[in-house]
Amino acid sequence: MVRHYREMMVMSNRLDDGTWFTEVCEEGGSAFSLQIREKLHDETSDYQHIEIYSTSHYGNLMVIDGFVMLTALDNFLYHEMMAHPALFAHPDPRRVVIIGGGDCGTLREVLRHSSVEQVTQVEIDERVTRLSERYFPELCESNGDPRVRFHFGDGIRWMKDTAAGSIDVIIVDSTDPIGPAKGLFTEAFYRDCHLALGDAGIVVQQSESPLYHYDSIIRPMHTAMRGAGFGDSVSLQFPQPCYPSGWWTATMAGKGDIRRFREADACHKSFATRYYNADIHQAALAQPPFFDID
């Protein structure tokens, strides 16, 4: 999912007396806590420290480098909004690439679209995927789909080496712009995405909280995407209780008109969703007055 690195946001994350896991967001002057039943797993991979907990109300919790990555209870909000708006905004999405997304929740949502012929997921840490298969099997139920190609490696390098015009939709289900993920938030990376995308191509990337990160992440992301050649960009809003502020965004850029979508297809989609629908899609496009990108 997201948020492997949050040194700039969080100064003190801890398990209080073995009962509560608390993530403190210093720059927002806020914190989020989950009541813990037990620790299920603890390991350090080649890239990061991964912990899995059982919680009292949120189901299983994945923590990476001390920071909340996802919970069983509320991840559907994020995964549906990372996948469906972009796929319904594209006129005919067949070839999709997911950069990151090791928990496979976004992959599952992409594969619900019958038009999709191939999905390549490029995740740097294979252990995130293997642990998700064990502790979040509902997110990985489509991992055996013959349309899926897994590549465990550097997403920046993979995108740079991708053939021009070979992708319809790119979903950057990335970590924060810190450490190895910093390069995923640059104009150079978006330029590689622009080259790899076909004529109606769309890229969408998680873009943090508009309450805390509008000036530091969201605005610069729009500038970089448009500087890379994308004609338009828009930040979609949705709730995400387990992340700082509880208010999250995914920023979408495209070569065509990304503010119009296949509304009839979204209204009559052949699969069930828990949050996304055509009205939610339309509402997410509405921008608060302080979103002064244009």
Sheet with 247-254, strands from edge to edge, namely 148-152, 118-123, 95-100, 167-173, 197-206, 247-254, 232-239
294 is catalytic: no
Catalytic residue among 173, 257, 265, 279: 173
125: left (phi over 0), alpha (psi -120 to 50) or beta: beta
CB < 8 Å & 24+ apart, contacts of 113-120: 113/87, 114/270, 116/87, 116/147, 117/147, 118/94, 118/147, 118/149, 119/145, 119/147, 119/148, 119/149, 120/96, 120/148, 120/149, 120/150, 120/151
Catalytic residues: 173
